[in-house]
Amino acid sequence: MTFVQIDNLRVKYGKLEAVKGISFSIPKGALFGFIGPNGAGKSSTIKVLATLLKPSGGTASIGGIDVAKNPAKIRRNIGYVPDFFGVYEDLTVREYLHFFAAAYRIERAKREGLIADALALTDLTGKIDAPVDGLSRGMKQRLSLARVLLHDPELLLLDEPASGLDPRARIEMRELLKELQRLGKTIIISSHILHELAQLCTRIGIIEAGQMMAEGPLDEIFQRLNLMRVVHVQLVNATDELVASIKALPGVAGVEPQADRLAIQWREGELAVEDLHESIHKLGGRMRMFQPEALDMETAFMKLTEGKTA
């Protein structure tokens, strides 16, 4: 079921057209990764959905409600985390969350419980009375997520949530997003960290110079681009004959011997990964490791984009 629908969306800043008629749809419960270089139009599209920008043309709707026509209704149903933290440094965590609970008109009696739940989910319970300006970047980002969870929105709009975070904070953020997806939230996330999006997203959209270059589930995009995949195989008996036999398998494009393994490139459309495993086994290969590499989003990104900006 389509939850977010964007049709021929255009956003202009004076003479500059930042978004040039993009269209896509996102089903309910999906985690949609929005990828593109700086100035591609990602933030402008997310701001339209967050009711911060009025589109110059086209339509955007969330849950069947037009964003431009009913911004007040939309705001009750979305949670927006900007690419900067946007937190009030003069408040404590408790005060900050109460502030937004009041802004979302949540009943006073329910606030404490909701805040406790949001803090537990974002692992900030111990920081409830800490001043916001004393939190680390990762904690501030998690606090921003706790803020958008207070009113239980169906759609989360996260603009570069992992930028500037250290590896640990990024991993924590990723786990948190997975948890939110399990809770049934539809999430739109823009990011530059491609391999993280590959691990996380159910669908992606690649945007450049205000135009959508590709959109859909990651597997589909790879098939469409006819990109090769890589599997790392450790063989106990990696003889030259065996390597040559693997190379000759239909669908296999190449075998690169590495220090302790073979990197086998193959076309997923021609040979399923389980069939490749079975074929190597049939050839007499005794496998210690068989590890398909995650889809190479960087390759897809580079193939689809040319580094242009709007």
Of 105 and 182, nearer to another protein (C-beta) is 105
- Rounded least distance, CB 215 to another protein, Å: 22
Beta carbon nearer to another protein, 49 or 197: 49
Give, in degrees to the nearest 5, the angle at Cα 64 between 61 and 66: 40
Residue 14, interface with another protein (CB under 8 A)?
A: yes
Rounded Cα distance, 233 and 261, in Å: 6
Q: At residue 187, what are phi and psi to the nearest 5 degrees?
A: -125, 130
The rounded distance, in Å, linking the Cα atoms of 209 and 213 is: 9
CA 261 to chain centroid, in Å, comes to 31
Query: Contact 35/301 with Cβ under 8 angstroms?
Result: yes
Nearer to another protein, 136 or 237 (CB): 136
State the minimum distance, in angstroms, from the CB of residue 301 to another protein: 27
**Residues 93 to 112 in contact with another protein, rule: CB under 8 A:** 94-95, 98-100, 102-105, 108
Residue range at the interface with another protein (CB under 8 A); choices 25-33, 69-77, 163-171, 260-268: 69-77
Give the tokens for residue 244: 């040559």
* C-beta closer to another protein: residue 189 or 297: 189
Contacts of another protein in 49-68 (CB under 8 A): 50-56
89 binds another protein (CB under 8 A): yes
Helix (H) or strand (E) holding 145: helix 137-149
80 contributes a contact to another protein by CB under 8 A: yes
CA 104 to chain CA mean position, Å: 26
Please identify, using beta-carbon distances, which residue of 104 and 290 lies nearer to another protein. 104
Sheet holding 252-257, edge to edge: 252-257, 262-267, 228-235, 287-292
Is 186 in a helix, a strand, or coil? strand
Distance from CA of residue 176 to its chain's centroid? 12
Q: How many CA atoms, within 13 angstroms, populate the side-chain half-sphere of residue 253?
A: 12
Comparing CA positions, the residue from 185, 176, 205, 168 lying closest to residue 297 is 205
Sheet holding 2-13, edge to edge: 16-27, 2-13, 57-62, 65-66
303 binding another protein? (CB under 8 A) = no
Q: Which is nearer to another protein, 147 or 170 (CB)?
A: 147
Choose among 277, 274, 232: nearest CA to 257: 232
Q: Please give the size of the binding site for another protein, defined by CB under 8 A.
A: 41
87 binds another protein (CB under 8 A): yes
Q: Is 11 in the site for another protein (CB under 8 A)?
A: yes
Residue 75 in the binding site for another protein (CB under 8 A): yes
Instruction: Pick the stretch among 70-78, 173-181, 251-259, 299-307 that binds another protein (CB under 8 A).
Output: 70-78
Nearer to another protein, 53 or 262 (CB): 53
8 A C-beta contact, residue 138 and residue 169 = yes
Determine the interface stretch with another protein among 83-91, 165-173, 184-192, 228-236 (rule: CB under 8 A): 83-91
Task: List the x/- string, 168-207, binding to another protein by CB under 8 A.
Answer: ----------------------------------------
Interface residue list for another protein (CB under 8 A): 11-14, 18, 47, 50-56, 72, 75-76, 78-80, 82, 84-91, 94-95, 98-100, 102-105, 108, 133, 144, 147
